[in-house]
Structure 1
Amino acid sequence: MKEMTAKEVEMNVTEGKTLNIIDVREVDEVAAGKIPGAVNIPLGLLEFRMNELDKSKEYVMVCRSGGRSGRATQILESHGYSVINMTGGMLSYEGQVQ
């Protein structure tokens, strides 16, 4: 499984690089703040909504602490998607949120 630290994600966002971020937390968790541009697909809905994703793109999976995003990474990889897990989750993310 490919991984990226929260700091690396933050630096990429700050530098204006385009990251396809999927936040797999529940809607009420995301309401407290998410990485700008992140799309919320709760983990429980991921298998039903993965058809919304483009297999030609790489996705960064995010959750609260890194556990659910790790599971989401495994699910998507098993279906042929290119995915990176953000380790440490939003607890480790110090960048701006919206």
Structure 2
Amino acid sequence: MEKFNYPNKYFKMTPKRKDMADRTGRAVLPIKYTPDFVGKDHKWIIETKGYLPSHHDFSMRWKLFLHYLVGIKSDYILFIARNSSQVDQAIQEIKKSISDGEI
């Protein structure tokens, strides 16, 4: 998501102040997401980080990323792996998809 300006009044809480800060007219920064591993010659993505409760914004970023891929009519195959055996499984599935000509 690109940066943008919200056209109406906008107040935001801040960790250093008791009152809210007036953010009216200021730029809202972009949301960025970079997958951990992306295929160069074939369309696959493996995500291995962020799938922890401590990364509370990951679900939102991932859903926005999926929405982006749907919007551009992407045909990437996607994997979210928590451990090395799941990464191994993703790699095997990628190899199979390449062999079958799916990607």
TM over 0.5: no
Structure possessing the higher relative contact order (Cα contacts under 8 Å, 6 or more residues apart): 1
Larger helix share, 1 or 2: 1
Structure possessing the higher radius of gyration over alpha carbons: 2
- TM-score, normalisation: structure 2: 0.30
TM-score normalised by structure 1 residue count: 0.31
